[in-house]
């Protein structure tokens, strides 16, 4: 009987915890010579393979009309920042994107230590017409954070301080280069939490998160960063410091300019500081990991979660069996509590009363099982086990990236059509693809469609793109739900924005960066 199965739901064994480092730093790899057609060497399979060819060559990028860096420029920056903070060697980690798909050829990395230094760098670069790419943790997945040609990399790594966390107002002021996990830890020290959580938290910067308007796994609870970020300080392309810091949720004085910097991917300004509204961390967190037989059951379970868990629902994620199995094969330390289902959901509740929340989530699962929508699963409120379950979800993208070359999409789709594109794509790619899978933030209608193959291959690329964008556009979805446009999707922006909107974007770019030195070749064509 199904209720008996509920009672038998396995609690997670306290196994050797998943202690592997979640994020990998860009590996220092050796160059290899270009061979074959440009497309076939433009990307590589898996993380262990050789580095990609220069993107300027593979994608035939016409270098913008920028000045070329010279010795006097380097000497200027050394005087400004000190020689330790001006790098001219071993720059591969800054030139290659996380996916190892995009590779630039910057000869200079600058590491300013405060806003004034960022401003001085931008003023100089604007006068000299030197192009600049702002870089945070370099975990972006659309090639936005690395140079395409020889842009100077402006690394925000040293702007890493949490300046204040006010436990009364919940407002934190933080420099943009602070690693998300460190920021969250500081907030937790006073009973608060950063309302953003994502698998790259150990490496990504809060400034990178804001610049990409990163989503992550708790948007269903806290909304996106346009709501949580109260203010930003940004350095414009000409070196002016735009102070849009605010300590209030409500501030209707003039145009809401901070929003321009949230999600503009370093093309309009360099974020140096921001204030964020941090909610109280929840006393009771429960996580259920459940198996389901069909996507129809997934939708029913989501509706039931919203109806029955209501205010305590804090995350609702989907993982299909191929995505899960790839992660499990790649990372043996992961413990999946259940197996053998086509779909899995991770449902989290966060509240202030453990007994109440536990009762609610158990009831929700029991009812779902009785209706035959939920097949099996586990539920836990033990913090160590909660983390173990989250680790499974967090390792899914890394499993796919580690295993082979992966075309990655993050699209918003109407819920009823959420998963169908995975089946359609599997059919389209046939044996050319090794894995076609879907996972993501079901609670926000955000699907991560991934298509894997042994290595970049033009034939499969053409089967996938632009089809995936056409399909999404026909359903009035968004071609980028959270990762942004960067370099990889700039040719497809028109699938989600009409020409009037794109012209406006261009006008704004011209206004804020007339010389086009900030993150060129990204977002706009
Ligand atoms: P970078 O990659 O360094 O830069 C991203 C963009 O922001 C670039 O265009 C860059 O120029 C610009 N930028 C960076 N810092 C600044 C600044 N201070 N001022 C102006 N521009 C700046 N994304 C999600 O949305 N949700 C997820 O759940 C998610 N999960 C991920 C899981 C994994 C394992 C990985 C590898 C990535 C994931 N991402 C996710 C993508 C990525 O982590 C996010 O986009 C993140 O916000 C990027 O932050 P970063 O500091 O690494 O920025
Ligand atoms: C995630 O939700 O895991 C991230 O956005 C990364 C990905 O798309 O793989
Ligand atoms: Zn995501």
- Percent with pLDDT over 70 in the chain: 90
Residue nearest to atom 46 of ligand 1 (CA): 209
Is residue 197's pLDDT more than 60? Answer: yes
Instruction: Please indicate, yes or no, whether residues 288 and 271 belong to a single structural domain of this protein.
Output: no
Instruction: Please indicate, yes or no, whether residues 408 and 313 belong to a single structural domain of this protein.
Output: yes
Instruction: Please indicate, yes or no, whether residues 297 and 248 belong to a single structural domain of this protein.
Output: no
As a whole number of angstroms, the distance between CA 212 and CA 199 comes to 15
The whole-number pLDDT of residue 16 equals 27
Ligand 1 first shell, C-beta below 6 A: 98, 133-141, 144-145, 156, 176, 198-200, 204-205, 207-209, 211-212, 214-216, 265-266, 270-271, 397-398, 482-483, 486, 519
Atom number, ligand 2, closest to the C-alpha of residue 446? 2
Residue 327 within any structural domain of the chain: yes
The whole-number pLDDT of residue 179 equals 98
What average pLDDT is seen over the chain?
Answer: 91
Higher pLDDT, 47 or 204: 204
Helix (H) or strand (E) holding 359: helix 354-370
Instruction: Please indicate, yes or no, whether residues 237 and 262 belong to a single structural domain of this protein.
Output: yes
The whole-number pLDDT of residue 42 equals 32
Is residue 507's pLDDT more than 80? Answer: yes
Q: How far is the CA of 468 from the centre of ligand 3 (A)?
A: 17
Ligand minimally distant from the alpha carbon of residue 482: 1
Is residue 184's pLDDT more than 50? Answer: yes
How much is the average pLDDT of 73-89? Answer: 98
The SS3 assignment for 335 reads coil
How much is the average pLDDT of 239-244? Answer: 98
How much is the average pLDDT of 238-250? Answer: 95
Is residue 134's pLDDT more than 70? Answer: yes
How much is the average pLDDT of 150-162? Answer: 99
C-beta neighbour count of 375 within 10 angstroms:
19
As a whole number of angstroms, the distance between CA 297 and CA 343 comes to 9
What DSSP string describes 370-417? HTTS--EEEEE--HHHHHHHHHHHHHHHHHHHHHSEEEEEEEE--GGG
Q: How many residues does the chain have?
A: 525
Residue nearest to atom 7 of ligand 2 (CA): 397
As a whole number of angstroms, the distance between CA 468 and CA 425 comes to 8
The whole-number pLDDT of residue 21 equals 28
As a whole number of angstroms, the distance between CA 184 and CA 178 comes to 10
Q: How far is the CA of 395 from the centre of ligand 1 (A)?
A: 17
Q: Is the CB of 440 under 6 A from ligand 2?
A: yes
The whole-number pLDDT of residue 33 equals 27
Instruction: Please indicate, yes or no, whether residues 261 and 288 belong to a single structural domain of this protein.
Output: no
Domain that holds residue 431: 3-34+282-474
CA contacts within 13 A on the Cβ side of 241: 14
Packed helices 354-370 and 295-309: angle between N→C axes, nearest 10 degrees: 150
- pLDDT-derived band at 263 (thresholds 50, 70, 90) equals very high
Q: Is the CB of 144 under 6 A from ligand 2?
A: no
C-beta neighbour count of 272 within 10 angstroms:
26
Packed helices 467-474 and 420-429: angle between N→C axes, nearest 10 degrees: 150
Displacement of CA 360 from its chain's centroid (Å): 31
Packed helices 321-330 and 383-403: angle between N→C axes, nearest 10 degrees: 90
Distances from the Cα of 277 to the Cα of 164, 165, 211, 221, 237, angstroms: 12, 10, 17, 14, 27
What DSSP string describes 62-116? PPPS-PPP-HHHHHHHHHHH-GGGEE-S--HHHHB-TTS--B---S-EE--SSHH
As a whole number of angstroms, the distance between CA 175 and CA 99 comes to 26
Instruction: Please indicate, yes or no, whether residues 206 and 324 belong to a single structural domain of this protein.
Output: no
Q: Closest Cα to residue 265, out of 55, 522, 525?
A: 522
Q: Closest Cα to residue 298, out of 469, 450, 440, 478?
A: 440
Chosen domain end from 250, 277, 304: 277
Ligand minimally distant from the alpha carbon of residue 178: 1
Displacement of CA 374 from its chain's centroid (Å): 29
Residue 388 within any structural domain of the chain: yes
- pLDDT-derived band at 49 (thresholds 50, 70, 90) equals low
Residue 69 within any structural domain of the chain: no
Distances from the Cα of 444 to the Cα of 19, 219, 344, 423, 482, angstroms: 29, 7, 16, 20, 10
Domain count within the chain = 2
Spell out a b/e string for 153-189, using b for 16 or more CB atoms within 10 Å of the CB, else e. Answer: bbbbbebbbbeebeeeebbbbbbbbbbbbbbbebbee
Residue 43 within any structural domain of the chain: no
How does pLDDT run across 286-298, given as a tens digit for each residue?
999 999 999 999 9
The set of residues, in sequence order, having a beta carbon less than 8 Å from that of 253 and lying 6+ positions away, is: none
What DSSP string describes 318-333? EEEHHHHHHHHHH-TT
Q: What are phi and psi of 131, to 5 degrees?
A: -80, 150
Instruction: Please indicate, yes or no, whether residues 236 and 359 belong to a single structural domain of this protein.
Output: no
Q: How far is the CA of 355 from the centre of ligand 3 (A)?
A: 31
Are 61 and 55 spatial neighbours (Cβ–Cβ below 8 Å)? yes
Beta strands in 14-60 (DSSP E): none
Q: Closest Cα to residue 199, out of 488, 448, 496, 474?
A: 448
The whole-number pLDDT of residue 24 equals 31
Is residue 48's pLDDT more than 90? Answer: no
How does pLDDT run across 339-380, given as a tens digit for each residue?
999 999 999 999 999 999 999 999 999 999 999 999 999 999
Strands lying side by side in the sheet with 241-244: 162-165, 171-175, 270-277, 229-235, 241-244
Positive or negative, the Cα torsion across 422, 215, 143, 265?
positive
The whole-number pLDDT of residue 207 equals 99
As a whole number of angstroms, the distance between CA 21 and CA 15 comes to 17
Residue nearest to atom 42 of ligand 1 (CA): 140
Q: Closest Cα to residue 368, out of 299, 321, 431, 271?
A: 299
As a whole number of angstroms, the distance between CA 177 and CA 173 comes to 12
Is residue 334's pLDDT more than 50? Answer: yes
Is residue 108's pLDDT more than 50? Answer: yes
Residue 303 within any structural domain of the chain: yes
Q: What share of the chain is helix, strand, coil (3-state, %, to 5)?
A: 35, 20, 45
Q: How far is the CA of 442 from the centre of ligand 1 (A)?
A: 20
Residue 84 within any structural domain of the chain: no
Q: What are phi and psi of 66, to 5 degrees?
A: -105, 160
Residue 373 within any structural domain of the chain: yes
- Percent with pLDDT over 90 in the chain: 89
Instruction: Please indicate, yes or no, whether residues 289 and 220 belong to a single structural domain of this protein.
Output: no
Say which DSSP state 10 is in. P
Residue nearest to atom 2 of ligand 2 (CA): 440
Instruction: Please indicate, yes or no, whether residues 302 and 239 belong to a single structural domain of this protein.
Output: no
How much is the average pLDDT of 429-439? Answer: 97
C-beta neighbour count of 92 within 10 angstroms:
14
Residue 11 within any structural domain of the chain: yes
Instruction: Please indicate, yes or no, whether residues 239 and 364 belong to a single structural domain of this protein.
Output: no
The domain spanning residue 223 has which CATH number? 3.30.465.10
Positive or negative, the Cα torsion across 491, 229, 446, 135?
positive
The domain spanning residue 30 has which CATH number? 3.30.70.2190
Q: Is the CB of 393 under 6 A from ligand 2?
A: no
Which pTM value belongs to this model?
0.93
Instruction: Please indicate, yes or no, whether residues 342 and 451 belong to a single structural domain of this protein.
Output: yes
């Amino acid at each position: 009987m199904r209720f008996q199965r509920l009672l038998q739901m396995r609690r997670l064994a306290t196994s050797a915890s998943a202690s592997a480092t979640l994020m990998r730093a860009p590996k220092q790899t050796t160059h290899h010579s270009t061979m074959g057609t440009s497309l076939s060497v433009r990307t590589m399979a898996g993380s262990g393979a050789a580095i990609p060819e220069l993107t300027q060559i593979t994608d035939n990028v016409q270098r913008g009309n920028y000045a070329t860096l010279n010795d006097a420029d380097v000497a200027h920056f050394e005087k400004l920042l000190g020689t330790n903070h001006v790098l001219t060697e071993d720059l591969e980690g800054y030139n290659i994107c996380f996916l190892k798909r995009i590779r630039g050829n910057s000869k200079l990395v600058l590491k300013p230590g405060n806003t004034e230094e960022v401003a001085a760098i931008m003023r100089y670069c604007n006068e000299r017409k030197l192009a600049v790419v702002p870089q945070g943790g370099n975990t972006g997945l659309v090639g936005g954070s690395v140079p395409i040609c020889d842009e100077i990399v402006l690394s925000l790594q040293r702007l890493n301080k949490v300046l204040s966390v006010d436990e009364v107002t919940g407002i934190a002021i933080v420099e943009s280069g602070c690693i998300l996990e460190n920021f969250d830890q500081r907030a937790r020290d006073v009973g608060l939490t950063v309302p953003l959580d994502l698998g790259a938290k150990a490496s990504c910067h809060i400034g990178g998160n804001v610049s990409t308007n990163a989503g992550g796994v708790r948007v269903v609870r806290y909304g996106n960063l346009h709501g949580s970020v109260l203010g930003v300080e940004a350095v414009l392309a000409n070196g002016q410091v735009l102070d849009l810091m605010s300590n209030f949720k409500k501030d209707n004085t003039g145009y809401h300019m901070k929003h321009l910097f949230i999600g503009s991917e370093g093309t309009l300004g360099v974020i140096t500081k921001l204030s964020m509204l941090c909610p109280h961390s929840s006393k009771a967190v429960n996580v259920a990991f459940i198996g389901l037989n069909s996507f129809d059951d997934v939708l029913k379970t989501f509706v039931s979660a919203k109806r029955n868990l209501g205010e305590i629902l804090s995350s609702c994620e989907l993982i299909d069996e191929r995505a899960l199995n790839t992660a499990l094969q790649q990372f043996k330390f992961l413990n999946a509590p259940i197996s053998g289902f086509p779909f899995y959901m991770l449902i989290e509740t966060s509240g202030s009363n453990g007994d109440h929340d536990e009762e609610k989530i158990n009831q929700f699962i029991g009812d779902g099982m009785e209706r035959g929508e939920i097949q099996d699963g586990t539920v836990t409120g033990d913090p160590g086990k909660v983390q173990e379950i989250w680790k499974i979800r967090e390792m899914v993208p890394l499993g796919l990236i580690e295993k082979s070359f992966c075309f990655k999409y993050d699209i918003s789709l109407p819920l009823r059509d959420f998963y169908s594109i995975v089946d359609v794509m599997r059919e389209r790619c046939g044996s050319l693809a090794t894995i076609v899978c879907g996972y993501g933030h079901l609670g926000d209608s955000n699907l991560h469609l991934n298509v894997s193959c042994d290595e970049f291959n033009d034939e499969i690329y053409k089967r996938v793109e632009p089809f995936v964008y056409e399909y999404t556009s026909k359903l009035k979805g968004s071609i980028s739900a959270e990762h942004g446009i960067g370099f990889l999707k700039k040719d497809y922006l028109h699938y989600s924005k009409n020409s009037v909107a794109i012209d406006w974007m261009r006008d704004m770019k011209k206004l804020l960066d007339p010389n086009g030195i900030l993150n060129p070749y990204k977002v706009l064509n």
